[in-house]
């Protein structure tokens, strides 16, 4: 939130991109956006695990209990009937529509769950991960 030249408060657009693993460690913080009525668009990249960590060192601990991330908006709205909106994006073609809905939403938090395949990682990560893993095990 910023202050304009005439002293009025104005909110800049905030878009956050977070992985599902990171969100599971900090999800409760999103409820603050609803509580304070802050308009924030959060894109959750759901690949059902810690893809980066998995490429560095494989292990069952890199798999997550999958959540219905978009449904967290209803959880954060609670009995006070907050104004958060949750959207599911299952195909890349749906993302543009979801972003248009997010921009036009007059409430607070917009949580967009973007589902991708667990194997959907860059070639650079495929090369870098094992090298970093080997280095850390020295």
The pLDDT value given to residue 100:
96
Residue 20 in tokens: 């599902």
The pLDDT-based confidence of 65 (bands split at 50, 70, 90) is: confident
- Location of structure tokens 């939403």: 105
Which residues are within 8 A (CB) of 60 and not within 5 positions of it... i.e. 6 or more apart?
Answer: none
d(CA 115, CA 91): 7
pLDDT in tens, 72-130: 999 999 998 899 999 999 998 999 999 999 999 999 999 999 998 877 666 776 666 66
Q: What does pLDDT average to over the chain? A: 83
In this model, does residue 43 exceed pLDDT 80? yes
pLDDT in tens, 96-107: 999 999 999 999
The pLDDT value given to residue 102:
97
How many C-beta atoms lie closer than 10 Å to residue 118's C-beta? Answer: 13
d(CA 83, CA 109): 7
d(CA 89, CA 61): 26
H or E element that contains 31: helix 30-35
The pLDDT value given to residue 10:
64
d(CA 116, CA 53): 16
DSSP-derived secondary structure letter, 93: G
Torsion of CA 64, 65, 70, 74, to 10 degrees: -140
């Amino acid at each position: 939130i910023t202050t304009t030249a005439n002293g009025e408060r104005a909110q800049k657009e905030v878009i956050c991109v977070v992985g599902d693993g990171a969100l599971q460690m900090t999800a409760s913080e999103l409820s603050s956006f609803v509580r304070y009525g802050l308009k924030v668009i959060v894109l959750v990249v759901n690949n059902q695990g810690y893809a980066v960590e998995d490429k560095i060192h494989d292990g069952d601990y890199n798999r997550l209990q999958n959540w219905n991330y978009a449904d967290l908006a209803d959880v954060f709205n609670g009995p006070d009937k907050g104004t958060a909106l949750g959207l599911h994006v299952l195909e890349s073609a749906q993302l543009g529509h979801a972003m248009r809905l997010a921009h036009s939403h007059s409430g607070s938090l917009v949580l967009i769950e973007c589902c991708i395949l667990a194997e959907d990682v860059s070639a650079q990560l495929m090369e870098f991960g094992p090298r970093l893993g080997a280095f850390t095990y020295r």
